Amino acid sequence: MELVTEIYRVTKKFPKEEVFGLVRQLRRSAISIPSNIAEGKGRLSKGEFRQFLGNARGSLAEVETQILIAQNLFYLDESETNRLLTKVEEVGKVLNGLISAVKKQ
């Protein structure tokens, strides 16, 4: 959820013409990560939980790609990009650990 908050903070500075483009897509992808984890946890089977964790991982990959697109368009500077990508990496490690733990159960 920390990543979502950061995404919202940095996208406030994006150009207005991106409100319905990259801003919307980046925010939607970011929100999808914790939402999929929560929805999967609420499911009745481990298989369903794993499926939603996979969806969260896919959304995380989208966020990473969209951050790089934003940097290429000069909407993010290098330090903001690096900070966000570090958070993406941290979330990825947690997600991968959670997926491994659920697979072992």
The residue type of 90 is E
How confident is the chain (105 residues) per 10-residue block, as mean pLDDT?
97 95 98 97 91 97 98 97 98 95 86
Cβ(62)–Cβ(29) below 8 Å: yes
Please report the pLDDT score of residue 104 as a whole number.
Answer: 85
Q: Is residue 74 classed exposed, middle or buried when 0-12, 13-18 and 19+ CB atoms within 10 A define those classes? A: exposed
Q: Domain locations in the chain?
A: 2-104
Cβ(4)–Cβ(11) below 8 Å: no
Please report the pLDDT score of residue 78 as a whole number.
Answer: 96
Please report the pLDDT score of residue 12 as a whole number.
Answer: 96
Please report the pLDDT score of residue 103 as a whole number.
Answer: 87
Q: What is the pTM of this model?
A: 0.94
CATH 1.10.1740.10 fits 2-104, yes or no: no
